[in-house]
């Protein structure tokens, strides 16, 4: 029984490691202090013009942050923050915001 209890988390860790990018969630949380005024540390928007990014798909977050960094995607707010982010910062931030658990309630309009 003990072996099973030890084995299961080990498998989950291995499986997680193989599908996720190189991002470090814990490091990403620390770096997310740069983002909290607009996106919240919880990834839920704190201003009317910033989108929610909690639970967003990790590769999408990486792509958008890279696009803000290179200028391929333009935004007055993000163009101030993104150029200073390294590739590792982007991976860590994407891993952190993607790892925030979100749940969807009742769908409206029914």
CA distances from 45 to 3, 21, 70 (A): 43, 24, 24
State the Cα–Cα distance between residues 75 and 58, nearest whole angstrom. 20
State the Cα–Cα distance between residues 69 and 48, nearest whole angstrom. 22
Q: Which stretch binds ligand HEC (CB under 6 A): 10-18, 19-27, 44-52, 98-106?
A: 44-52
What's the min distance (Å) between Cβ of 19 and ligand HEC?
A: 20
Span 51-80, contacts to ligand HEC by CB under 6 A: 51, 53, 61, 64-65, 75, 77-78
Determine if 93 is a binding residue for ligand HEC (CB under 6 A): yes
| Binds ligand HEC by CB under 6 A, chosen from 24, 25, 29, 38 | 38
Q: How many residues bind to ligand HEC according to rule CB under 6 A?
A: 17
Q: Is the dihedral of CA 17, 91, 41, 53 positive or negative?
A: negative
């Amino acid at each position: 029984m003990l072996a099973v209890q030890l084995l299961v988390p080990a498998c989950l860790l291995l499986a997680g490691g193989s599908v996720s990018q190189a991002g470090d969630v814990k490091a990403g949380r620390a770096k997310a202090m740069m983002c909290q005024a607009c996106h919240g540390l919880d990834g839920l928007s704190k201003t009317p013009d910033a989108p929610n990014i909690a639970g967003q798909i990790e590769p999408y977050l990486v792509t958008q942050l890279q696009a803000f960094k290179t200028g391929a995607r333009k935004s007055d707010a993000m163009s101030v923050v993104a150029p200073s982010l390294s590739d590792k910062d982007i991976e860590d931030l994407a891993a952190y915001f993607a790892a925030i658990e979100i749940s969807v309630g009742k769908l409206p309009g029914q």
